[in-house]
């Protein structure tokens, strides 16, 4: 039971993205419906169960743990979980503990996160225009996020911005966002919008902005050099010669990155999704709660990994959204 996790295509599974809540204080249009129905709190794993689940994965060879949501920092008492996970950093069993956040709560928690051993974080930010930010997040306030970025950097956290490329929305901010990050020594990663969940009147095809086109536009002003850098995720990176900053591209549609996939996602209810772009899932909550021993849980984890598919089927060709997922991104975890 101590053998590392290897999927059917001989890819080692060393990266767990764990959602700790489906709730969020924003309602981003590509992620959630405006009137979301959230899970009953009794269905969520307790913080103690999240600790046990995470520790089981770490015992099976996971070296990187990213906490997601929803917005992970709105979960009550979430810092007790981060403090618990810091023991795996101290023991050397875990290489990295990190999170993806919308930044709204960072002014409150940045120092505590740093004290728990978090070194770098991803902040989701799609626009620097206050009116557009209010539009795309529905409930969000840009000054609160900017304050959070400042607090994170002041606490010594390395910050990377994640920006979803949205046609007709932030195309005109490509250089503004790039220069904003360059001035603050932050990496920036662009992400193609993915067909996740029914979000009412939002048009996935109308939102889709190919990162090949984005990169071509970026190259009209800057010199771009491809980098071999790998951070454990799906991004491919370039270096901008003029600013020396690093820009990442996550391209699930124009460049399928499945051949190097080393990660799985577990929801706040204990469902494991071994592929973001497939509906297949397995339940880990039942074996977790079935016994105080981790034997059944470890067996269930291994059985789920054995079902991991080769890749996803996202496709926007022929002006239809093929491979669309029925679940919202906030349910799966970013």
What are the binding residues for GTP?
17, 66, 100, 160, 263-265
Binding site feature residues: 17, 24, 28, 30-31, 66, 70, 100, 124, 160, 194, 258, 261, 263-265, 275
Nearest CA to 225 among 211, 210, 246?
246
Give the span between the Cα atoms of 46 and 20, in whole angstroms.
9
Give the span between the Cα atoms of 185 and 245, in whole angstroms.
7
Give the span between the Cα atoms of 267 and 43, in whole angstroms.
11
- CB–CB of 26/139 below 8 Å? yes
Q: Got the DSSP string for 258-307?
A: GGG--EEEE-TTSEEES-TTS---EE-HHHHHH-SSSHHHHHHHHHHHTT
Backbone Cα Rg of the chain? 19
Cα pseudo-dihedral 298, 53, 332, 144, rounded to 10: -160
H or E segment at 158? strand 158-165
Binding site feature residues for [4Fe-4S] cluster: 24, 28, 31, 258, 261, 275
Residue 22 tokens, joined? 């489906």
H or E segment at 124? strand 120-124
Q: Got the DSSP string for 219-253?
A: TTTS-EEEE----SSS-EEEEETTT--EEEEE-TT
Binding site feature residues for S-adenosyl-L-methionine: 30, 70, 124, 194
């Amino acid at each position: 039971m101590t053998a590392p996790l290897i999927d059917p295509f001989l890819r080692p599974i060393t990266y767990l993205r764990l959602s700790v809540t489906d709730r969020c204080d924003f309602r981003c249009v590509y992620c959630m419906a405006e009137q979301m129905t959230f899970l009953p709190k009794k269905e969520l794993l307790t913080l103690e169960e999240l600790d046990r689940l995470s520790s089981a994965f770490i015992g099976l060879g996971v070296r990187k743990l990213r906490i997601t949501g929803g917005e992970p920092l709105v979960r009550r008492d979430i810092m007790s979980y981060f403090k618990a996970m810091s023991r795996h950093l101290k023991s050397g069993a875990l290489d990295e503990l990190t999170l993806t956040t919308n930044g709204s709560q960072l002014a409150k928690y940045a120092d505590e996160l740093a004290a728990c051993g978090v070194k770098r974080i991803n902040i989701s930010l799609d626009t620097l225009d206050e009116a557009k930010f209010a539009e795309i997040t529905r409930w969000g306030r840009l000054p609160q996020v900017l304050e959070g970025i400042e607090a994170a950097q002041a606490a010594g956290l390395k910050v990377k911005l994640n920006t979803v490329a949205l046609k007709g929305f932030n195309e005109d901010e490509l250089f503004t966002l790039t220069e904003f990050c360059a001035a603050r020594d932050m990496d920036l990663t662009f992400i193609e919008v993915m067909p996740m969940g029914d979000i009412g009147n939002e048009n996935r095809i109308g939102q889709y902005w190919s990162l090949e086109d984005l990169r071509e536009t970026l190259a009209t002003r800057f010199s771009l050099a491809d980098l071999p850098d790998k951070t454990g995720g799906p991004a491919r990176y370039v270096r901008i010669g003029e600013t020396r900053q690093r820009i990442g591209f996550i391209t699930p549609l124009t460049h399928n990155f499945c051949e190097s996939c080393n990660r799985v996602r577990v929801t706040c209810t204990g469902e494991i999704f071994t592929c973001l772009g497939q509906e297949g899932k397995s339940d880990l909550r039942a074996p977790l709660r079935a016994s105080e021993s981790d034997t059944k849980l470890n067996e269930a984890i291994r059985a789920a990994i054995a079902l991991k598919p080769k890749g996803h089927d996202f496709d926007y060709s022929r002006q239809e959204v093929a491979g669309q997922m029925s679940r919202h991104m906030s349910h799966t975890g970013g």
